[in-house]
Structure 1
Amino acid sequence: MSTNTYYAPHGGHPPQTELLTDRAMFTEAYAVIPKGVMRDIVTSHLPFWDKTRLWVLARPLTGFAETFSQYIMEVASGGGSEKPEQDPNAEGVLFVVEGEIEVTLQGKLHVLKTGGYAFIPPGTNWQLRNRHKDTARFHWVRKHYEAVDGVPLPEAFVTNEQDIEPIAMPGTEGRWVTTRFVDSSDMRHDMHVNIVTFQPGGVIPFAETHVMEHGLYVLEGKAVYRLNQDWVEVEAGDFMWLRAFCPQACYAGGPSRFRYLLYKDVNRHMKLTLNAPR
């Protein structure tokens, strides 16, 4: 399997001579956060994290996407946290796009290199440290876990996308494949964070319109994406945030493949009371 590369922001600021026109947009149905707006001035920090800053790509907003948050974490050499998560109901996924991190889950040490993936159930005792000389950058997707009586909690696990065989969408001859980190029929999981890959010219040939919310971070390549009634050009480093039922489709633009990290909420009944706790 070929070695994968992923785009990661490095901050900085554009010169005063640069035009401010960009592709950033926020609508009632979707948002696009292009890589060009992920600068130093928009970073955040978290309690109990050393030598760390982050870009917040998504957070629950009433009337918009409400189920998840997503960060790009940037941890300098020697940085990390002994108390990374303060919410006992939060589950998480880590996906490394640059560098190397050490993650301790329930006392067991794991080294995650580029392409490394960790699922962390709610209530897990875990720590994270960058002991490598280079800065590490990784995605951290968080969601309040929706427990179901009679369905056990999912287990923590660590893997790398290089070790998982992508699954081709039927009828696409491999032009559209998905790297699935958990079985889609496993009812223990109420969110999926997968990687979707299109070969140049590959398409989603219909406007997907469904209840799942999405966060899509472009890891490689470029495409033109249909978001609601608009066609939007996106490239590696861009993030798209889609609320439920936002129509979506895409054409992969080439010359290389188009890949994105995809969040969606799954496998649970719809809440019948507005603002009911998850």
Structure 2
Amino acid sequence: MSERAAATYYVPTGGHPAQTELTTDRAVFTEAYAVLPRDTMRDIVTSRLPFWEQTRCWILARPLSGFAETFAQYVVEVAPGGGSERPEPDPAAEAVLFVVAGSVRVSVDGTTHELEPGGYAYLPPGADWTLHNSGEGNTTFHWIRKAYARVDGIEPPSAFVINESNVVPDEMPGTQGRWSTQRFVDPVDMRHDMHVNIVNFEPGGVIPFPETHVMEHGLYVLEGKAVYLLNKDWVEVQAGDFMWLRAFCPQACYAGGPGRFRYLLYKDVNRHVPLSPAPNVPR
């Protein structure tokens, strides 16, 4: 593989469209997938969170009965001095944070870390953590949350912090580096029930068959553009777009260039399929 290019990340800034803009856009929600283009991430659709100061977020995914059910994904923007001493209300939740702009100070079980763009933190269920904007400008990060699926005899993972620049891409076989994945945890580590990775395509790289599998996906495009197969539809996507795929939705990709195409990918892994509904979940 050629020398790695410097990472760049799309950062939403909100705003509000002018009355003269067209309403027609690429946003779509189907039974198999959803696409939230970057232009849907405006001020008017942000959310505020309890016990977070000077913070707003775009909630891109949440569990929906009959659709993707395992995870939630936020893009969080924190102003200088903002953050939270009580960020996570659910003691069963695990999380991944991925910083795309600014800097944050994350304290996990008494240890403090400074995360710059490309910074990645895994937070296990029950972790005692806080987060504050330690810079002079806004900071933006992805926050992916999942209820951890405990297994008798397997301990939950430990917290860790790393930067993607220190994670060597694994090249997919036979692609000469045109398709690779930066894996932040060992795929065979059964402690982990979700993976949040970065998938990379050089111009001309493809997923050459329609992947059809049990894992749900959240895909946030960090850089570049491509055409993506979602169920039966080829959809053009670009940096800042979010795709949400339910289980068994066929998918493939063609990265036409001119630059790299990269996305942050969530998927649920390493667990048996539940054979009965979870308690207290309406069906």
Q: TM-score, normalised by structure 2?
A: 0.97
Q: Write out aligned runs for 1:109-258 (5 A).
A: 109-258=112-261
1:162 is paired with a residue whose SS is helix
Query: Aligned AA for 2:167?
Result: I
RMSD (Å), alpha carbons: 1.0
Query: Aligned AA for 1:29?
Result: A
1:73 is paired with a residue whose SS is strand
Q: Distance in 1 between matches of 2:256 and 2:154?
A: 42
1:142 is paired with a residue whose SS is strand
Query: Aligned AA for 1:105?
Result: V
- After superposing on structure 2, the runs of 4+ consecutive aligned residues of structure 1 that deviate more than 2 Å are 274-278
- 1:42 counterpart = 2:45: yes
Instruction: String of CA shifts for 1:33-82, please: whole Å, max 9, x gaps.
Output: 00001000000000000000000000000000000000000000000000
Instruction: String of CA shifts for 1:226-273, please: whole Å, max 9, x gaps.
Output: 000000000000000000000000100200010000000000000011
Q: Distance in 1 between matches of 2:139 and 2:132?
A: 10
**Residue number in structure 2 paired with 1:101:** 104
**Residue number in structure 2 paired with 1:263:** 266
- Structure 1 position 8, deviation (Å): 1.1
Structure 1 residue runs without a partner (length 5+): none
- Structure 1 position 276, deviation (Å): 5.2
1:170 is paired with a residue whose SS is coil
Query: Aligned AA for 1:73?
Result: V
Instruction: String of CA shifts for 1:208-240, please: whole Å, max 9, x gaps.
Output: 000000000000000000000000000000000
Query: Aligned AA for 2:155?
Result: P
- Structure 1 position 153, deviation (Å): 1.0
- 1:63 counterpart = 2:66: yes
Percent identity over the alignment is 69
Would you say how many aligned residue pairs link Structure 1 and Structure 2? 278
> Which of 13, 17, 22 lines up with 2:16 in the alignment?
13
Query: Aligned AA for 1:99?
Result: G
Q: TM-score, normalised by structure 1?
A: 0.99
